[in-house]
Structure formats: C-alpha cells, structure tokens
Amino acid sequence: MVYRVLSDYIVRLIAARLAGDIVLSDKPGKAMRKWREFFGLTQTEVARAMGIAPSVVSEYESGRRTPGTRFLKQYVKALLKLDAERGWPSIKRLSNVIIPLSEGVVDIRELEVPVAIDKLIAVVKGALLTSMPLARNIYGYTVLDSLVAIESMSGNDFWRIMGTTTERALIFTRVSTGRSPMIAVRVAPVKPAVVILHGTKRVDPLAIKLAELDGIPLVLSLAEGIEDLITGLKSLTFASS
C-alpha cells in the first residue's frame, strides 16, 4: 500500500474537484446535497460553519436558489473545515479515489518569498552530500513518493511536478539508495535547484556523482518520518506567508 500524507496539496485538489462537480452539474443543489451527505453533515452543521441560517442552505440545495462562486467557495470550505475537525475521514476516503496515485505526488507548494537552500537543509534535518556552492534560492518544493513516481513519471510529468518554477526543491521519499531518483533527474528535461533524499541512511556514490555532473546540490534528509519531513517544509511556508 502506498503511504500518503494528507497534505494541503491533496486537500486543495479535492476542494477544486468538489466545486467543479457542483458547478458543472445540471442540478447544482442536488450536487451540493450529495457532497454534504457524503461528508456525513447536516444542513445545520454546514450553516453554522458558514455563519448563515440553515434555511439558506436548504434553499440552495433544493434548487430554489442558484449558488454563485462566492457561496460555493464558502460551502466547500465549510465541508472541509468540519471534516478536519473530525480527523479528515471523508477527505481520506476521497484522496484514494480522486488523486491519481500514479503521479506519486505527496505534497507540492509554491513559496511567496524565496528561501535559501541552506535554510531548507536545516528544516529537513539534512546533510549536504555534494560540494558545489549553495548560491541559489528556492521558490517552491515538490515531495514525491519515489517508489511510485519513478515507475510512472514521463517527461511531461516532470514539467507538471515542477510547478510554476524550476527554482524548487525536488524531494524523494521512501528512498533506498538514491540511485534511481538521480537517474530520473539526470534524464529529465528540466532540473530542480536541489534534490533531497529521504528514507535511507546510505546514499549510493553514483547518485552523488550524477548530482555533481548536473550541478545539483544533493541532500540527505535525516527527518524521522515523512510527517516530520512535511512539518519542516511547512515551516518554510508559514515563514514566507
């Protein structure tokens, strides 16, 4: 079974899917009710989270009123907020259906302000394995499940996981020796600013050599687990917001 962190990335994708399903439905009210019931929520609970009367939710779900973009955004946010308070039971179920596991993406985020690579190394409890200077900053990061990503990613997939900028950290989890991730980076059409390996104590010398050839700093993260790794990365997001 593929290990997955319930990240902001996954939650955002699911939120967009819910909103899109409602907007594209011939009967948006029925679609709203479908998702509310899927989340196991009452109209009163959703209304309270939105700060409106239950009768307003009822009017939209019954089709007497047509929801606009602003209302739908608040409605979906209420579903997510209430699910979060319960430990994300519904989102966890949806993540196994809506988010394609073949992509192997655990988390992806853009940073509002650049972050120095040495600061990134610190938050992931990393050790630098290459000798090139750390002159570049990163503007985002992508965390991949290496066992899934390496088997399924194509060149086009690499463009997608690089987000809005190549000035980012590419982080591979569940790594055994680091050789396969660095071979994948070596043949990829675009290169990250830094590569971080997580899940191993020993990195194959070939992986280090490939990183040196591409001029990419290679870092070994000693974070205890994937949750610990993600928590460290999120501190960059909070610091930049």
Determine, yes or no, domain membership for 233: yes
- CATH code, 172: 3.40.1390.20
Q: Is residue 154 part of a domain?
A: yes
**How far, in Å, are 69, 82, 112 from residue 238 at the CA level?**
27, 23, 10
| 132 in the same domain as 23 | no
pLDDT per position as a tens digit, 70-106? 999 999 999 999 999 998 888 877 875 555 544 678 8
pLDDT tier at 140 (50, 70, 90 boundaries)? confident
Give me the residues paired with residue 137 across strands: 116
* CATH value at residue 14: 1.10.260.40
153 within a domain of the structure (yes/no)? yes
**Does residue 206 form part of some domain?**
yes
Helical (H) or strand (E) element with 197: strand 194-198
pLDDT at 104: 79
Q: Average pLDDT of 170-183?
A: 94
Of the given ranges (66-70, 88-92, 121-125, 209-213), which has the lowest mean pLDDT?
A: 88-92
Domain-embedded: residue 2: no
When pLDDT is cut at 50, 70 and 90, the band that residue 216 belongs to is very high
Higher-confidence position of 152 and 78: 78
My answer on whether 205 and 116 are in the same domain is yes
Out of 77, 98, 119, a domain closes at 98
**Judgement on whether residues 94 and 144 belong to the same structural domain of the protein:** no
pLDDT on residue 5:
45
Are 129 and 227 members of one domain? yes
**In which band, very low, low, confident or very high, does the pLDDT at 2 lie, cut at 50, 70 and 90?**
very low
Given this model, what pLDDT does residue 147 score? 83
Domain membership of residue 36 (yes or no) is yes
77-86, 91-100, 193-202, 212-221: least confident range: 91-100
Same domain, 84 and 149: no
pLDDT at residue 1 in the model:
31
Tell me: do 48 and 164 sit in the same domain: no
Burial 98-137 (b: 16+ CB within 10 A, else e): ebeeebbbbbbbebeeebebeebbebbbbeebbeeebeee
Final residue of a domain: which of 98, 115, 145?
A: 98
pLDDT above 70 for 202: yes
The pTM of the whole model exceeds 0.95: no
Range of the domain at 13: 8-98
Strand order in the sheet with 169-173: 105-116, 137-145, 169-173, 194-198, 218-221, 126-128
User: Same structural domain for residues 127 and 208?
Assistant: yes
88 and 126, same domain (yes or no): no
Number of domains in the chain: 2
* Final residue before a domain boundary, out of 70, 98, 126: 98
pLDDT top residue among 16 and 182: 182
| 219 shares a domain with 110 | yes
Instruction: Say whether both 73 and 138 belong to one domain.
Output: no
Same domain? For 127 and 60 the reply is no
- For residues 40 and 138, state if they share a domain: no
Q: How confident is the model at residue 165 (pLDDT cuts 50, 70, 90)?
A: low
Q: What is the pLDDT of residues 8-61, one digit of tens each?
A: 667 888 888 899 889 988 899 999 999 999 999 999 999 999 999 999 999 999
- Confidence band (pLDDT; 50, 70, 90) for 159? low
